Amino acid sequence: MIPLRLKKINAEKIRLKLDRADVEGASFDGPLALEVVPGGSGTITFTEGVATKLDMKYRMTSPSASARFGGRMAVLRTARVTGGVTVTVPPAGPPDVRLTLAGLDAHLPDLDIEAEGLSLTATGQGAANAAWNLQAAAKTLRHTAAAPFAVTAKGRWSPRKWDVEGTLRQDRSGLIASFAANETTRTKAGSGRVDMVPLNLAGIDGGVHAITPLLTPFIKSITGTVQASAITEWDKTGLRPIQVTGSLRGAGITPAPALLPPAAKGFVAGFSSLAAEFSLPPGDPAAGTGTFAVTGGNLQLGPTQATGISGRVQLEHLWPPVSPPGQEVVIEQVVAALPAADGRLRFQILGPSSIKVERAELAGIGGRIWAEDMAIRDGVPPERMTLHVDGVGLGDLAAQMNIPGLKAEGKLSGRIPVKLGEGGTVAIRGGLLTSQGKGLLAFKSPTRPMPGQAPEGGRIDMVLDILEDLRFDGMTLTLDGDAQKDVQIQAHVQGRNPKIQEGRPVDLTVNLTGNIGQAIQAELRNFDIRGLAGAK
């Protein structure tokens, strides 16, 4: 017999049709048309009569191919797929295999993910139970929850387990995130996580909406530096809730106009730090739970501003948002018509524009003011509420009025029932404040007419004389009217002026209407005085 030795075999194109293939841990369903062509300098290379290398290239097409792996399915789009297979046979041991693939598109319906321009390089040994090293990339990864990403990844697969790690990049926003995942084949137990590199939103064209469209109904704009991480686990029973943590620092937030009730249009929020934790069910993320922690917060609505806000709010349903009772935030300062500080708000969230205020409390004008048991439903405030007043300082109140010549000392406490109407109208109904102990009411009018020249003659002169240094033992204020227009205030004072008739006791009732400062400077034209009238 004549010995036959081959160095190389070249072949023409080989066309194959594949309907189904099963590899341990994965399966493929066709039909798939595969065209194999020689690659490199030849198809099969022999050394000393032994085949040492197989080098092939291929193209594949399929109208409806699908692959299953790890209990999930991918629909493959193969119109542009090309690749190659290189098999190198060493002198001993199993052959080394290198498989490349490029141009594949895929849809993962279980995860609602579209991948375009997939490429893959797999290297391993042609032996049972062999492990494979993988490198993969996708030009575009799409999901309804985020703007498109580009992906690079590397990993290792074996019949017993697989793991992968890589990087996600968004060109438009500059967002970068790392990810990692692993799974044990026998138990189907695995875990995955994504960690985002901190990103300054101010430098992004389109802001946060360039990252995700999900915030469009809720947020008009956000500035600040954002960072987020997510982790989850799964097993044979399915995917467990996704645990998300995130932070927003140095932030300014303008809510979407459609989210706010008419009375809150123009609302703006800012935070030194806003931290959030979420637990998201995979099938219905909106039904998840969450916690928000705020420090250095400030809110602004028109001329009113609250600063130094801090607190922790728990949500038992993310959207529509619902919280347990007893949520609480503290407020360092409120800048409004009457500045206040040391605020505390205890509440329950009942929906996007609904909240039950269990107690709202502020320190202002020398005392404390609070209201309880109020409900805002669908952006509509309660029709009635009661302001409770404790220890309000007359001196602080006089200073806020900025009335030239007015000085006061003492404390007031009581209740002010309020009726809230359409268009933000505020009506006071039967407000009653009483003094706590003794005090001082002193008023020297800079516009006082010469004695005897006032329309009421000597009686107005007597009132003004008394008010120059009225030391009172008791004071009662009653209030009624529209807080933004005319308020009827009746001040009933029992006291004495030590300079008038040797400090004889006086009972003085003064009725004021409209702006308090204007009424006093108009010389208290409506009054009733007993005790000194007619005295000799």
In tens, the pLDDT along 270-305 reads: 889 999 999 999 888 889 999 999 999 888 876 678
Please report, for residues 388, 444, 469, 511, 519, the alpha-carbon distance to residue 406 in angstroms, rounded to integers and kept in the order given. 25, 7, 10, 17, 13
What is residue 303's three-state secondary structure? coil
Residue (of 53, 60, 18) closest to 39 by Cα position: 53
* 242-256, 476-490, 522-536: range with lowest mean pLDDT: 522-536
More confidently predicted of 91 and 294: 294
Q: What pLDDT, on a 0 to 100 scale, did the predictor assign at position 522?
A: 40
* 36-50, 178-192, 294-308, 342-356: range with lowest mean pLDDT: 36-50
Q: What pLDDT, on a 0 to 100 scale, did the predictor assign at position 271?
A: 84
Write the pLDDT tens digit of every residue in 43-71: 555 555 556 777 888 887 777 777 777 66
Mean of the per-residue pLDDT values of the chain: 81
Q: What pLDDT, on a 0 to 100 scale, did the predictor assign at position 41?
A: 46
pLDDT confidence bin for 500, thresholds 50/70/90:
confident
pLDDT at 401 over 70: no
pLDDT at 169 over 90: yes
Other C-beta atoms lying within 10 Å of the C-beta of residue 439: 22
pTM over 0.75? The answer is: no
pLDDT confidence bin for 42, thresholds 50/70/90:
very low
Query: Average pLDDT for residues 105-114, to the nearest whole number?
Result: 84
Q: What pLDDT, on a 0 to 100 scale, did the predictor assign at position 518?
A: 45
Query: Average pLDDT for residues 134-160, to the nearest whole number?
Result: 91
Q: What pLDDT, on a 0 to 100 scale, did the predictor assign at position 484?
A: 62
Q: What pLDDT, on a 0 to 100 scale, did the predictor assign at position 471?
A: 92
Q: What pLDDT, on a 0 to 100 scale, did the predictor assign at position 49?
A: 53
Question: For 457-465, which contacts have Cβ atoms below 8 Å and span 24 or more sequence positions?
Answer: 459/527, 459/529, 459/533, 460/523, 460/524, 460/525, 460/527, 462/529, 462/532, 462/533, 463/508, 463/510, 463/524, 463/527, 463/529, 464/523, 464/524, 465/497, 465/500
